Amino acid sequence: MQTNPNQNPAQTPDSGEEVKKDFKGLFASVRKFLSELLEIRTNTDAAATKESIIADIPFKGHTSWILICSIFIASIGLNANSTAVVIGAMLISPLMGPILGMGLSLAINDIDTLRRSLKNFAVMVVLSVFTAFLFFYLFPLRDESSELLARTKPDIRDVLIAFFGGLALVIARAKKGTIASVIFGVAIATALMPPLCTVGFGLAINKFEYAWGAMYLFTINTIFIGLATFLVVKFLRFPMVRYANSKRRRFIARVASVIGIAVMIPAGITFYNVFQESLFKKQAQVFLKETIEVYQFNGAGRYVDNLTKIEFREGKEPLIELVCMGDELIPDNVINTWRTQKNKYSRLVDTEFRVLQGGRDDSQEKFNYVSELYERNKAELLSKDQQIELLEQTIAELSKTAGKQIPVDAIGAEIKANYQNVEGIGFAYQVSTNFKKMDTIPIMEVRWKKETRRKDKKTDTEKLQKWLKLRLKDSTLRVREAL
């Protein structure tokens, strides 16, 4: 067989087969590497994992007291706005045990473990909320700290944290030789304890929207940690619980499947709703950046971005409410243009758009907003009022003292002309108190010449005091000899 001299050797059929073989070899190597890197079944101890999770489910004795202490610590940390204290409470909280038990029991059709998990979980939640309620109801300081308010409005990030935290926790528990640092990290990241404390706080101060938002966050964490546990246990192929009675086995399997589906449906709905809210807020932020944030005020107007309200309301129209301060009003044609621009965003079409500004607004909401703002900053306002009152008192005292100042040069010249025995004078205010009342007394000190007789000093002192009281119109003034 003759070879074409013009043919490139790299393009021969044999070379093409070699390239394919090399590519297949590379692909197989990468696949093997990734399989070894990510494979977790071979190093899983299913029996020990199941035993350890079931051992953490019971709630009595030491566990109950640990929960109560952790609730108190978390409540104090949230009240004091201390992140470090809240983290400490999350580390010692035993709430994770029943949640893992629920996910495990659903995955392996263990109805008895599921029953115990649900019972202990309910007791833990009720005791936690009741303990937090008592603390905030009886404790005199109940400030709405940022740590508390952060647990009242869950978003898509909380869903993802709970799900991936649950995955990490179950994978760590399943490994031969449990990774303790992962367990501690998940306890901090998923934050089961602070939302329950916030529920108690909301009930204690009669702000049920706080309690509802915090309970919603806790429910999200619980559902997605349980869902992650269910999926990991299924993936690792933990052995199913076997029952001697075949009818009972089928019944238990159906019950577990129904409960599993019942849990996953609200989990999916929750994820969808929170994801939609996240997309809405993202488009709202983009809309604000392209409109109000680039608007140029000519006078005393100002856009207050940290007071702007963006709300994704279930069952109602979403809301975007801008707040502008100052005397300058944004023209109606500009606001109408913004309303038109808003409709260009798919998730903002049905959104209610309001602009609250200086001298007027287009709804009654401004009055409600100002009232809410006052209540929110009442403590700061009281503090400022006290500072103003103190400054006013200080100014009054200074004004009073300034009014009592005497013309020392003129008085000195007159005393020198009329009293030959006086060598010099001094003037000051003396503050005295009997521990019930404080007085400020003007004192004139006289330095007499050495040759002045005691009798003359006494006579001239009495005459000088009478004259100064009349001259300065101050009956409290006193004259005494300088020491």
Provide the whole-model pTM: 0.54
**In a domain? residue 274:** no
Which domain does 69 fall in, by range?
Answer: 46-241
pLDDT digits (tens, 9 = 90+) for 434-455: 676 767 788 888 888 888 888 8
Q: At what angle are helices 83-92 and 193-204 packed, to 10 degrees? A: 110
Is 18 part of a structural domain of the chain? Answer: no
What is the rounded CA–CA span in Å between residue 482 and residue 33?
A: 100
pLDDT score of 42 more than 70: yes
pLDDT confidence bin for 25, thresholds 50/70/90: confident
Would you say residue 32 lies in a domain? Answer: no
Calculate what percentage of the chain has a pLDDT beyond 90.
0
The answer as to whether 251 is a domain residue is no
Q: What angle do CA 296, 302, 305 make, to 5 degrees?
A: 105
From first CA to last CA, the distance across the chain in angstroms is 136
Helices (H) and strands (E) in the chain, counts: 17, 8
In a domain, 336, yes or no: yes
Position 104 confidence tier, pLDDT thresholds 50, 70, 90: confident
Tell me, yes or no, whether 3 lies in a domain: no
- How many domains would you assign to the chain? 3
DSSP 197-213: HHHHHHHHTT-HHHHHH
Average pLDDT of 152-160? Answer: 71
Whole-angstrom distance, CA of residue 268 vs CA of residue 272: 6
Residues 342 and 415 in one domain: no
Nearest to 108 by CA among 296, 3, 268, 238: 238
Q: Give 383-436 pLDDT, tens digit per residue.
A: 555 556 656 665 665 555 544 566 777 888 888 888 888 888 888 777 777 676
Residue where one domain finishes, among candidates 241, 271, 298: 241
Question: 328-372, pLDDT tens digit by residue?
Answer: 788 888 888 888 888 888 888 888 888 887 644 444 444 455 555
Residues 54 and 175 in one domain: yes
| C-alpha gyration radius of the chain | 40
Are 294 and 361 contained in the same domain? Answer: yes
Residue 150: alpha-carbon gap to chain centroid: 4
Same domain (yes/no): 206, 57:
yes
For residues 452 and 420, the answer to whether their CB atoms sit within 8 Å is no
- Same domain flag for 231 and 364: no
Check whether residue 361 and residue 474 sit in a common domain. no
Question: Is residue 286 domain-shared with residue 162, that is, in the same domain?
Answer: no
C-alpha–C-alpha distance, residues 333 and 64, integer Å:
63
User: For 241, which DSSP code?
Assistant: P
- In this structure, the answer to whether residues 104 and 231 fall within a common structural domain is yes
Q: Is the pLDDT of residue 287 over 50?
A: yes
CATH number of the domain at 411, please: 3.30.70
Distance between CA atoms of residues 189 and 121, nearest Å: 20
Query: What does the pLDDT average to over 199-222?
Result: 85
Structure tokens at 77: 């940390």
